[in-house]
Amino acid sequence: MSSVVYTHISGLSTNIVPIEIPSQEQHEGREEPEGFVEHGEYATTIHAHDAGTVLLRVLDGGHMLELMALESGMRAARFSFASKIALQPALMMLGIAELHVLVVTLNGSIFRLRFVLPHLWNSTQYAPKEYRITSISAPIDGIVHVPEVGVVFIGLNDGGVLRLTAKMNGLEYTGDWTEESLHGPPNYFPSFSSLMPSFYSGPTAPDPSKIIALASIPPPLADSGYARATSLVATLSRDRHLRVWLTGNGKFVASKQIPSQFFQTDALITRSATPGKTPALEGHIIDSDYRPIIRVLPPVLDEDSFSPDMDAGTEVIVFMPTPGAETAGFFLLYRLSAQDRSSSRRDLNFVGRKPCSAQTEGWELRDFLVADDVLYLLWNSQGRTVIQTSTYDLDETEAEQEPWNTLSADGEKELSPDSFEESTQEGDTLASSILAAILRPGAFSPYTLHIAIKQYEQSLIDVAPYILNTPYPTLAERIAAVVGSSVSLTTDPRTGAQMWDRYWSALRRDWEGFVARCQAVERAGRWPLGLSRARDGSVVVLARERMGTIVALDEPMSVHSLAGANTSSSASLFGVAWSLRANIPSSELRQLEDALRSVSGDGRIAYSHDSVLRDVAQRHLDGLLPDGPAAFVRSGLGMIGDPEDAVLQALDVVGKLEHVVKLEDPDGGMGLAIGHDGEFKKALTTAYIAQSIEAPWRPAEHA
């Protein structure tokens, strides 16, 4: 099994002074960003050969670009732009010696930042080159895509694209670009509808042909330095026209109108469309907050039979969202045909489809990619990141396709009042136990804690302004000193007795309020952004303020992730046990544990263990659970076919955990396959070890 291990990015880049990028245009003062400055709006990675994996993030409401070399001790760099960045900026390699960053801003400028490997921005003298786009007016609201280091595509509102090609002087880019507007075959239906509207029921909204998605073949991951030129770019418009263009000369290649609903694909399976023609498919324009996503895959080349047609067989995958339907959407696969010798035309042939799982209803697909014949999906489920995988089998029939598998989200738990009580040791104060919980590695990022305490201090300006005038050497000391400082011990005006109960209650509410602030900021930072790949091909998950990688689970982590699933009776038993444990208050739980310890440690009891455990359960456990959780526990136990066998399997799993944890993994099968040692790898390794160490105790607690 696999899971995702995350680490916070803010801990990897601190106290960085941004470099101002000069611009030819004068800009007025910009508005304050609505979100948090350190939360990314866009993120991507690239393997930069000797420099390892480089991470690019857009911060500060779209005005700042951050570059970070994850596999080295190199300090991160930030570049501030006067105009907001038009998503998506790109990282591109020029050979194996140069890393280029291409940025398009909303005010109509293209910037190129050039860095020489392996030292990148640490020792390279670079001068950002700016070019002003003249073919379209600012602000630029079209989709931006960079298929090659010298080519930029910008989607237009009329279904066409603006192709910009960089000029070169020898082997150097001059900073100038040529601009060319590209358009495919005209779509006559909107024009026809204006003349005879009663005969046309198609799109009538503004800009029905606007380009809303762009994609090309991603760069290779190999270190050879050789990369086949990305010769094709695919676009998708709001009227559901999928078009393919040549990157080099901008020539239109093929077009196909795709269905808007899953049931419409039935006709595509049985119908053989005329090559070069777009079959008319009824449906509305794509006009929802859930955007479609397209990806382009290179053709599978047969080494034994060389073909001069290198583009034949190129695959285009389309995710079509279906808000309001039973699933979040479906996938379509089209394949580019060989070039017709007589007409030099191509066609996009429908190959297959695949619906999303039923549990995705109401979810938003943020990104997807194909790696090693596995399709990875990145979902946003009401602010929660969910990863699903399946075999890349869109060309198979639905009966032959593999189901979707949801990766474990182990470790993705939030703090609660009960968790504070659980972690409290003898002699701990309320403040120290909560402070230890929120400072636990991986619980909250340094940026989250900084923002939460800043918000908390702002709320105290009118109540206790003197608190804000004291400097503290560390963030932990600042939190410990400030939170709860406005709570005072009062006396009863009638008796003069100190009201300790009210004091402890108010202090607890104050700390819980601070934790709630932390959780709100942390949830915003966990918002998923996209998927990428590391040097070795492993999948990387990118979020606003954290980054993770998909790793293999060891046995304890696998057992915990299987809890509640119908994979085995032992895993189901663990799921029931965890549900039972989660619904018992901490104080009663300790009484139950003490009773069990006294029974197990007393050798004078003459009754059977079965009878004694039944007695303990009746005296301490009955009545602790509300009706709902109690019914769930009884239902879960009823679904276990052979309780005795399930208990034996569970005990067997617990007995093996100690040996599994102590095993080493010399081949890296369970480790993190990220290249050289760096702060990112150290942080991920720490998170993985913490998760792996904690997992064995969970089954043992409830077995």
More confident residue, 591 or 358: 358
Q: Which band of pLDDT confidence, cut at 50, 70 and 90, is reported for residue 213?
A: very high
Question: What's the CA gap between 454 and 437, in Å, rounded?
Answer: 19
pLDDT at 423: 58
Which stretch, 128-137, 168-177, 263-272, has highest mean pLDDT? 128-137
Mean of per-residue pLDDT scores for the chain:
79
pLDDT at 670: 43
Percent of the chain with pLDDT over 90: 33
pLDDT at 566: 42
Task: Say if residues 299 and 220 touch (Cβ distance below 8 Å).
Answer: no
Percent of the chain with pLDDT over 70: 75
* pLDDT value at 102 more than 60: yes
pLDDT at 165: 94
pLDDT at 692: 66
pLDDT at 195: 44
Token pair recorded at residue 111:
């910037």
pLDDT at 661: 44
* pLDDT value at 369 more than 80: yes
Chain centre to alpha carbon of residue 56: 15
Q: Are strands 528-533 and 546-552 parallel, antiparallel or unpaired?
A: unpaired
pLDDT at 686: 75
Q: Which band of pLDDT confidence, cut at 50, 70 and 90, is reported for residue 565?
A: very low
pLDDT at 171: 78
pLDDT at 571: 54
Q: Parse the chain into domains and list their residue ranges.
A: 417-525, 544-702
Q: Which band of pLDDT confidence, cut at 50, 70 and 90, is reported for residue 177?
A: very high
Name all contacts of 103-106 with Cβ < 8 Å and 24+ positions apart: 103/65, 104/133, 104/140, 104/144, 104/152, 104/154, 105/23, 105/81, 105/140, 106/138, 106/139, 106/140, 106/141
Q: Is 695 exposed, middle or buried (0-12, 13-18, 19+ CB in 10 A)?
A: buried
pLDDT at 609: 67
Q: Which band of pLDDT confidence, cut at 50, 70 and 90, is reported for residue 41?
A: very high
pLDDT at 225: 38
Task: Say if residues 104 and 152 touch (Cβ distance below 8 Å).
Answer: yes
Helix (H) or strand (E) holding 661, with range, is helix 643-662
Q: Which band of pLDDT confidence, cut at 50, 70 and 90, is reported for residue 91?
A: very high
Question: What's the CA gap between 53 and 72, in Å, rounded?
Answer: 9
pLDDT at 15: 78
Tokens 């076919």 found at:
641
**What pTM was computed for the model?**
0.81
Query: Which of these ranges, 126-135, 246-255, 448-457, 610-619, has the smallest mean pLDDT?
Result: 610-619
pLDDT at 174: 86
* pLDDT value at 211 more than 90: yes
pLDDT at 441: 79
The mean pLDDT value for 161-165 works out to 94
Name all contacts of 401-409 with Cβ < 8 Å and 24+ positions apart: 401/354, 403/357, 404/356, 404/357, 404/377, 406/359, 407/2, 407/3, 407/4, 407/550, 408/1, 408/2, 408/3, 408/4, 408/553, 408/557, 408/558, 408/560, 408/561, 409/3, 409/4, 409/384, 409/385
Asked if the peptide bond before residue 206 counts as cis, ω within 30 degrees of 0, the response is no
* pLDDT value at 688 more than 80: no
pLDDT at 554: 57
Count other C-beta atoms under 10 Å from residue 5's C-beta: 25
pLDDT at 186: 65
More confident residue, 547 or 609: 547
Query: Which of these ranges, 210-224, 535-549, 594-608, 629-643, has the smallest mean pLDDT?
Result: 594-608
Token pair recorded at residue 336:
């580019």
The torsion angles phi and psi of 15, rounded to 5 degrees, stand at 55, 50
169 three-state secondary structure: strand
From the list 286, 283, 315, 287, the residue with the least C-alpha distance to 299 is 315
Q: Which band of pLDDT confidence, cut at 50, 70 and 90, is reported for residue 271?
A: low
